Amino acid sequence: MNKSNTMDNNENTRKGVVVITGASAGLGRACARKFAEDGYDVGLLARGIDGLEGAKKEVLQLGRKAMYVQVDVADAQAVEDAAAKIEEELGEIDVWVNNAMNSVFSPIKEMKAEEYKRVTEVTYLGQVYGTLSALKRMLPRDKGSIILVGSALAYRGIPLQSAYCGSKHAIQGFFDSLRSELMHDKSNVRVTMVQLPAMNTTQFGFVKTRLPNKPKPMGKIYQPEVAADAILFAAHHNRREIYVGYPTVQAIVGDKIAPELGDYVLAKTAFEGQQTNIPEDPNRKHNLWEPIPGDHGAHGDFDAEATDFSPELWVSKNKFKLLTGLLGLGGILLGSIAAQKLMSEED
């Protein structure tokens, strides 16, 4: 097959263009693969050049086009310039996934003001800046999908991650405002927030920490591909929110019902629950200010503990089919009961 025919086939199977922030590692890396497998050309945004090169290579191996822009999402103009470059090279942006994040594991009493500022600029404002660049292009076309990557911690803050929890709470408020405004304007641009559980991503070896032992995901751990599947689903369906994993449902619903109980339980369990038994090197590199060199992939160090399936997500994705099936089954049962009653009366 000649090159021109290969390109034609590539265009015929193309679903659109997706931009993914934080695409060099962790969940962003898993999302890049998931969207490429689904037929999207991928624009990759992150700070780490080695991870961006690796992500681009994976997308190309899956038969899709890819380009990356090395960018810090805390820089609004840099994000806007990156969006313009992606549209120039790949075409109109159909989906924008706001995934980039940063965090500091530390008691509040030991946190520094500049650390709160930095985490907020990346984790919260990075999503705002990405959304603004997406809206600038999607609103005039009256189409497109924006995904805000949230967390159970957007509703329920936990000890030792105050900067991250505060940023995720802020995203939730921004999302509420944006969705209402889009509805008011009768816009066909969709926005969904995907709320995630603890995941086996690279962040636990990347983020700055003051904990005596190495940090770990708290509670049940999910592989990043589970969340990537939810994000791809969100891009295709007009859902307000998607909860991934039972711990997410438990944390969000539980906080609405009994937040005081959550305070008590977390005070007792969250300090040890977010640390392994392995002492942390107090001088290890972290990515708060600069990326850590190397291509780190999507998975962290907890493959042995992580699950690759969420029954709650499966039910959420298939709830309309399940409802239709239950209604059909109910109709059959009612019909059967009515028939039996009729036969009994005739006898």
How far CA 64 is from CA of 7, 20, 166, in Å, comes to: 10, 15, 37
Q: Alpha-carbon distance 245 to 196, whole Å?
A: 7
Choosing from 40, 129, 155, 164, which is the catalytic residue?
164
Q: Which residues of 141-173 are buried (b: 16+ CB within 10 A; e: fewer)?
A: eeebbbbbbbbbbbbbbbbbbbbbbbbbbbbbe
Adjacent-strand bridge partners of 98:
148
Question: What span, in angstroms and rounded, lies between the C-alpha atoms of 231 and 6?
Answer: 29
Contact 183, 225 (CB under 8 A): no
Q: At 214, give phi and psi (nearest 5°).
A: -60, 135
**Contact residues for 79 (Cβ-Cβ < 8 A; gap 6+):** 21, 45, 71, 73, 126, 129, 130, 133
Whether 164 is a known active-site residue: answer yes
Q: 28-63 as b/e, with b when 16 or more CB fall inside 10 Å?
A: bbbbbbbbbeeebbbbbbbbbeebbebbbebbeebe
- Which residues are designated catalytic? 164
